[in-house]
């Protein structure tokens, strides 16, 4: 899977609290950014703007305006930085287990990896489907007992497809490596990068 290089995202700092939430989210996703004062011209290497404005502001920038949800705002800006209103494909690797690992790759970029309790896996799938602006989702699920809630959630969304894959031994490509990744997250990432195994298909 080819990874497209992200360019910088500009953050127009007008509302300090909103800017702080957006910056924290950008750092968590390792997205390079620059801070801009209201009215400051955007540098050439900035391909998308996030506007954090106060309620009565009249900033004339074009870009993604903070909507109260830093996670969704940043995702929309990442998509815009690639020249699109939404991602073409979001691949979600799922490592089933009592501690369920998730790894999310959007248009080739590894944006987040984390674990949740098995009982929350269905809710997490619902959150991913709601948060990511995307035309298509592919949930790649590794071998193990998968909660019915997760499968029901994914299969009820017309944008989403499911593939069951067998996790293989794989050296994670350099562009996807992160320090301190838990074992469940590494497994989920490998699953996300693994093609469907036709011998292991649970329909």
Contacts of 167 (CB under 8 A, 6+ apart): 95, 142, 143, 187, 190, 191, 194
pLDDT tens digits, one per residue of 86-103: 999 999 999 998 899 999
At residue 198 the predicted structure's pLDDT band, cuts being 50, 70 and 90, is very low
What pLDDT is recorded for position 4? 47
- 132 backbone dihedrals φ, ψ, rounded to 5°: -85, 120
Please give the CATH topology (third level) of the domain spanning 90-192: Nucleotidyltransferase; domain 5 (3.30.420)
- Has residue 201 got a pLDDT over 80? no
Coil/strand/helix, residue 139: strand
| 111-147 burial: b if 16+ Cβ within 10 Å, else e | bbbbbbebeebbebbbebbebbbbeebbbbbbeeebb
Q: Which H or E run contains 21? A: helix 16-28
What pLDDT is recorded for position 186? 93
Helices (H), 143-196: 148-155, 183-192
What pLDDT is recorded for position 121? 92
Domain boundaries, the chain: 8-81, 90-192
Cα distance between residue 141 and residue 197, in whole Å: 11
- Has residue 56 got a pLDDT over 80? no
Mean pLDDT in the chain?
87
Kindly state the tokens that stand for 106.
């959007």
- Has residue 24 got a pLDDT over 80? yes
Q: Domain 8-81: which CATH class?
A: alpha beta
Contacts of 147 (CB under 8 A, 6+ apart): 96, 100, 118, 119, 121, 122
- Rounded to 5 degrees, what angle do the CA atoms 48, 94, 151 make? 105
Kindly state the tokens that stand for 99.
């501690």
- Has residue 146 got a pLDDT over 90? no
Residue 33 near residue 42 (C-beta atoms within 8 A): no
Q: Between residues 195 and 98, which one has the greater pLDDT?
A: 98
Question: How many CA atoms, within 13 angstroms, populate the side-chain half-sphere of residue 156?
Answer: 11
- Has residue 26 got a pLDDT over 80? yes
Q: What is the pTM of this model?
A: 0.84
């Amino acid at each position: 899977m080819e990874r497209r290089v992200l360019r910088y995202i500009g953050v127009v700092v007008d509302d300090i609290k909103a800017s702080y939430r957006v910056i924290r989210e950008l750092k968590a996703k390792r997205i390079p950014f620059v801070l801009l004062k209201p009215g400051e011209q955007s540098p050439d290497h900035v391909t998308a703007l996030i506007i954090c404005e106060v309620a009565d502001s009249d900033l004339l920038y074009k870009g993604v305006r903070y909507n109260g949800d830093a996670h969704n705002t940043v995702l929309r800006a990442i998509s815009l930085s690639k020249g699109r209103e939404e991602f073409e494909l979001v691949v979600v690797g799922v490592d089933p287990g009592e501690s369920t690992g998730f790894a999310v790759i959007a248009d080739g970029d590894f944006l987040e990896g984390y674990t949740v309790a098995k009982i929350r896996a269905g809710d997490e799938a619902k959150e991913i489907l709601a948060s990511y602006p995307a035309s298509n989702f592919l949930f790649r699920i590794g071998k193990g007992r998968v909660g019915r809630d997760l499968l029901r959630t994914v299969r009820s969304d017309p944008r989403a497809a499911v593939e069951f894959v067998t996790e293989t031994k794989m050296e994670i490509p350099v562009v996807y490596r992160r320090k301190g990744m838990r074992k469940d997250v590494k497994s989920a990432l490998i699953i996300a990068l693994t093609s469907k195994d036709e011998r292991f298909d649970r329909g």
